[in-house]
Structures are given as structure tokens and as C-alpha cells.
Amino acid sequence: MVDIFQEVEEDLKRERSEELWRKYGKYVIGVAAAIVLGVAGREGWKTYEQTTSIENGTRLANAVELAQDSATDEDAALAALDAIIADGNADFIALGHFQKAAVYLRADAKPSAINELEAIAGNSDIDQVYRDLAVVQIAMNSASEANAQELITRLEPIAVPENAWYYSAREMIALLHIAGGEVEAAKPLLTEIADDNSAPAGMRARASEILKAVGA
């Protein structure tokens, strides 16, 4: 009888974790898409201003505009970005892949988006800040109970204070613990975020809300 109660308790925990992931995971994924567009746009403009290749800078600006225009044919946007990736330097290549990922995410083609992000994460010629962002994005858009631990392992080197994506990585690790059914492991991370005055206000509020939901 005790074993049956234990099995029921584990099932309830699993259902609770899945419900939490359904409720909050999509919100974080939405933030992820905004991060991609914001960072790619800002860094792309900086690159445009700093590069000596005016032609490539203009092409990138035009390709980004196409990718972000909801009225643009998807194939045309992807083709323009492919041209940037084929001819550009490492920064242009990263931004091209980020924008392609954003196009695919808007089309709900997540596997294709993940492939674009993996192309950034696995390219040693690309600046580490882009590669780390790609890993965070991969986690945000592919998390499941099955791959939660694998993604946590990839995020742990990013979840350090000196990294630009420190808070995003830590929040994602907490959510991955929830996705994997390890709510107790998520609580300390969420508490740290909620209590950290240096963390983004929205992230702190979200951490506090999730903590209340899990009964912390």
C-alpha cells in the first residue's frame, strides 16, 4: 500500500511540474525571441557602423529588415540571410543565423530554428557572447523532460556572474529542473533570482511568482 501511495505522489509531482512548464515555459520562450531580435538588431547596427565593408553592412541591414517584416515572403528573407552567412565574417554569420532562427520561430518551425542556433553555438570562429546566447536560446526553445539534464549541463558554464547571459542561464536552469520534475532543485535558484536586486525586475517578479506556485 505504501508503494502505491509513493507512486501516486510521484505522478502528482510529475503532473505539477508539467503544468508549471506549460504555464511559464512559453512565456520565457517568448522572451527568448525578443532577445534574439533585440540583440541581433543592436549588434548588427554596431557591426554596420564599425565595419569597413559598407556593402556587407548594407546587405545585412536589408536582410534584417526583410526578416523582421511580417509581410515579407519567408523564402525571400531566408535567401537574403543565407547570402549574408555565405559571404560575411564571423559576426555577420552569427547575426544571419540568429535572424534565420527568428524567422523559423515565427513560423513555428522549431527544429529548423534549433539547427540555426546550433550552427552558432558550434562555430569556434564566432564570438563567445553570441555562442553563449545561442545555447540559452537552444534551451529556451527545445526544453523537455527528456533533455533537461543535457541542457542544464550546457548552461552551467554560462550561469556564472561574469557572463553576459548569467541571469537568463540561471533562470533557464531553474525552469529545466521543473521541466525534468525536479521542483526542489529549482527553488534555491529561483529564490536567488527573486532576492537579487541586480537581476532584471521582470525576471525577479517571474521567479517570485513561480516560487509561490511551487509552494516555496
Tell me the per-residue pLDDT of 35-90, one tens digit each, with 9 for 90 and over: 444 554 445 545 544 544 556 666 667 777 776 666 667 888 888 889 888 877 78
pTM of the model: 0.74
Tell me the per-residue pLDDT of 155-199, one tens digit each, with 9 for 90 and over: 999 999 988 888 889 988 998 998 888 989 999 999 999 999 988
216 vs 161, which has greater pLDDT? 161
CB atoms within 10 A of CB 134: 26
> What is the model's pLDDT at position 203?
85
20 vs 170, which has greater pLDDT? 170
For 106-134, the DSSP string reads: HTT-HHHHHHHHHHHHT-TTS-HHHHHHH
Residue with cell 536582410: 63
Tell me the per-residue pLDDT of 141-156, one tens digit each, with 9 for 90 and over: 888 889 999 999 999 9
> What is the model's pLDDT at position 77?
82
